[in-house]
Structure 1
């Protein structure tokens, strides 16, 4: 597992909700705070394109802003 550089994730936002992203090391995804949309991280590179198909993270609120 290769986590994204924290300096990079500090600059990124969810492309759908524009909320902050937090890395979930167990699932190797970036999760949007509040909405729970999950974006995969492959070899340390966040996959934030529409075809990456975000999915709701377990245990996180599903409400969209």
Structure 2
């Protein structure tokens, strides 16, 4: 996931701002980590550079 996506990403539940927590990154993008919504208190995982923005009740 490219860091500049943070400018347009919002929580899929409440449309609130997200906070990026990086676990692993390379020079171009975030490889793994989470996106956190403080309004909903929900985390959205980033795995293999892809953010999973499905609402929590729709994830496996």
TM-score bin, normalised by smaller chain: 0.5 to 0.7
TM superposition outliers: structure 1 runs of 4+ over 6 Å: none
Corresponding pairs, count = 50
Unaligned ranges ≥5, structure 1: 54-65
Q: Which sections of structure 2, spanning at least 5 residues, go unmatched? A: 24-31
Q: RMSD of aligned C-alpha atoms?
A: 2.1
Q: After TM superposition, list the pairs within 5 Å mapping 1:28-43 onto structure 2.
A: 28-43=33-48
Structure with greater strand percent: 2
Partners of 2:19 and 2:53 in 1: CA distance: 13
